[in-house]
Amino acid sequence: MKSGEVVIARLWQADDGMKLGPAILLCRLAPFGDWLVCGVSSQVRHHVPDFDELIGPDADDFVKSGLRQPSLIRLGFLGTVTKAQVGGDLGEISPARLQRLRQNLSRLLQRAEGE
């Protein structure tokens, strides 16, 4: 497993239920090696500009991602998973897209310091 992979994992939903679906491995967390992930949704209407990432057939990394339809990589839908909680991998996103996701998340966390 490596950052940028698109995997199948169970993530908590807003309604307190768990759902199996695609997620992006953002980074490995010390000291136990869990993964920070963000969920991927087909509900592209929930896109938050300058934060989330849309990925569709016109994107260079869409085919390699393993996603089957236009999707929304939702940075507001974060979770942590262990290696055992990952049900398999679909593909991977481009290094450039992974970097944008990390930068967007970092900007949000830095802005939140004064709250």
In the prediction, which pLDDT does 13 show?
76
Number of domains the chain is built from = 1
Residue 65 CB-half CA count within 13 A: 26
CATH number at residue 43: 2.30.30.110
pLDDT class of 40 with cuts at 50, 70, 90 = very high
pLDDT surpassing 70 at residue 95 = yes
Cα separation of 90 and 76, whole Å? Answer: 21
User: Domain range spanning residue 95?
Assistant: 5-114
**The pair of three-digit structure tokens given for residue 66, joined into one six-digit string:** 């393993």
In the prediction, which pLDDT does 64 show?
97
For 1-38, the pLDDT digits (tens) are: 999 999 999 887 777 778 889 999 999 998 988 999 99
In the prediction, which pLDDT does 113 show?
62
Contact present, 105 and 26 (Cβ < 8 Å): yes
**SS3 category, 10:** strand
In the prediction, which pLDDT does 115 show?
59
pLDDT surpassing 70 at residue 91 = yes
Cα separation of 96 and 111, whole Å? Answer: 23
Positions of E strands within the chain: 5-12, 18-29, 34-41, 53-55, 71-81, 86-92
In the prediction, which pLDDT does 110 show?
86
Q: What is the dihedral of CA 82, 85, 87, 91, to 10 degrees?
A: -30
In the prediction, which pLDDT does 111 show?
80
- In the predicted model, what is the mean pLDDT of the chain? 91
